[in-house]
Amino acid sequence: MSKTLSNFLFISVLCLFIANCANRGNPTGGEKDTTPPKIVKSVPENFSTNFNAREIKIYFDEYIKMNNLSKQLIISPPMKSTPEITPLGTASKYITIKIYDTLTPNTTYAINFGSSIVDNNEGNPFSYYKYVFSTGDYIDSLTVAGVIKDATLSKPDNFVTVALYEVDSTFTDSIIYNEKPTYITNTLDSITTFVLENVKAGKYLLTAMKDENQDYKFQQKTDKIAFNNTFIELPTDSIYHLTLFNEDLDFKAYKPRLLSKGKIAFGFEGDYKNMDIDVLTDVPSDFEYTITKDKEADSLMYWYKPKLETDSLQFKISYNNKVVDTFDVKITDKYQDSLIVKGEPTGQINFNDTFVLTASTPFKTLDKEKISFIDKDSVLVPYTTKMDTLNNNITFEFEKAENSRYRLQFLPEAITDFFDNKNDTIQFLMQTKGYNDFPNARITLKNAKYPVIVQLTDDKGEVKKEVYSTEPEPIDFKYLKTGKYFLRVIYDENGNKKYDTGNYLKKIQPERISYYPSPIEVRVGWDTVQEFILK
């Protein structure tokens, strides 16, 4: 063999070796699978009639698993015993549904899996799969459609339950508290529309509920409710609009408890303003009491003096002049609360703010002769005060100049509390910025029906500023903090200058609120002017 041929063969083998090495390595895996699983068959078949099986199997073309089934699963009408559905947490090529309930004759059932079924590898969802069967000889096919909104939020909650209750000879308004609905569906995640399917003809109560306990029964303390004003008749082509709201809680009194010497806490639910507390135990002629509202808890604080030589006190609780309950409070030796005075705001004060004085014990008197209120030039500042005994605060109103400083000083014994305790010297320092350090916003309303409450809120719906208006006029919000605000208008239908929620049993809908569709940005250096066209 010649040297040239030998070199050629060597080079050829080397190239083949290098090419072979270059082809080694990890496979790319190809394109990502985006195809959802497919159903191969169902036993019994979907949309079966004269159904009497106790087990259902649904077969897929690949391994699947179920995510978040407890939130996604909707069975309509609800079964008393929830079916057992497997697999949970593992992969399988089929779903098994075991039915333990006694099914109602001539009824169409729908088992809706929402978006819980996904393939095992890529998590591609098989969305809104529904298994339907009838215990009668036909499948009910009527529908009810509508839209959900929230009374006080620009966007309603996720997973809102929409329900139909059949209006028959056993129907009462209290059915939503005691019974599961006849038909249900769910708005699922980020969807505000609903469709109730496979419903039979008839008369129904239509409701929606943010069902926190997921028991399909309305609980006033935890759930939001919405309802159609009248019963609906099926079949219908109407589109229904439901508004979710929190009801004001019905009044309830809790057993009171002694917190400290001369201080008893009376817990409650509902409207405390119509709540009366009366002592039934014989007390001496010099007995005194006062009542304050706790800032942190739903409790009224009952303060009394002097110390009584008794083991217990008996009280009567009334609401709207009707006796609700009587309670005994055991009296033990405890320390008396000390007088602690606080004031807000301190440091920076806005031109819209009032200075508010609060105390740990009830205010009794305020001696203005022992109060010094001066500005940065040591000039006396004119002011007025207002004492709120129920909320136990004193507000100080005064005119504020820009770029100024203020000192509010209370000399000893300027403040006297219910127990005749008095303050030591205390002082509070405040200062203002310039007018141009704050942005302003002007809102003009079109097509408004007066009176209205115009509010600026944060993204959680907390009110930052509000103006009450009774006639067409520009709405000015001055000296705002820089940032984004959400604008809403409350239609004050009864003219009581506050938002009123609804009540299901009284068939009262909440007062209507309109939201401006996008946030309003305000910043220093320019004033925002926004027109809001109301529908």
22 inside domain:
no
Q: Which domain holds residue 159?
A: 142-244
More confident residue, 345 or 192: 345
Counting residues of the chain whose pLDDT is more than 90, the rounded percentage is 80
Q: Are residues 192 and 107 located together in one domain of the fold?
A: no
Q: Tell me the pTM.
A: 0.82
Is 7 inside any structural domain?
no
C-alpha–C-alpha distance, residues 167 and 346, integer Å: 60
The answer as to whether 249 is a domain residue is no
497 domain-assigned: yes
Kindly report the backbone phi and psi dihedral angles of residue 470, in degrees, each rounded to the nearest multiple of 5, phi listed first: -115, -5
Residues sharing a CB contact under 8 Å with residue 236, sequence separation 6 or more, in sequence order: 144
Residues 445 and 425 in one domain: no
In a domain, 4, yes or no: no
Q: Does residue 2 lie in a domain region?
A: no
Contacts of 250 (CB under 8 A, 6+ apart): 220, 269, 270
Residue 21: inside a domain: no
157 and 86 part of one domain: no
pLDDT digits (tens, 9 = 90+) for 11-53: 443 444 334 444 444 444 456 667 889 999 999 999 999 999 9
Q: Is residue 450 part of a domain?
A: yes
117 and 89 part of one domain: yes
447 lies in the same domain as 431: no
**CATH code, domain carrying 172:** 2.60.40.1120
Instruction: Please tell me the total count of domains within the chain.
Output: 5
Whether residues 220 and 239 fall in one domain: yes
* HSE toward the beta carbon, residue 285, CA cutoff 13 A: 0
Same domain, 396 and 354: yes
CATH number at residue 262: 2.60.40
Q: Decide: 394 and 357 in contact? Cβ < 8 Å.
A: yes
Burial 361-373 (b: 16+ CB within 10 A, else e): bbbbeeeeebbeb
Residue 189, pLDDT above cutoff 70:
no
172-186, 361-375, 413-427: lowest mean pLDDT where? Answer: 172-186
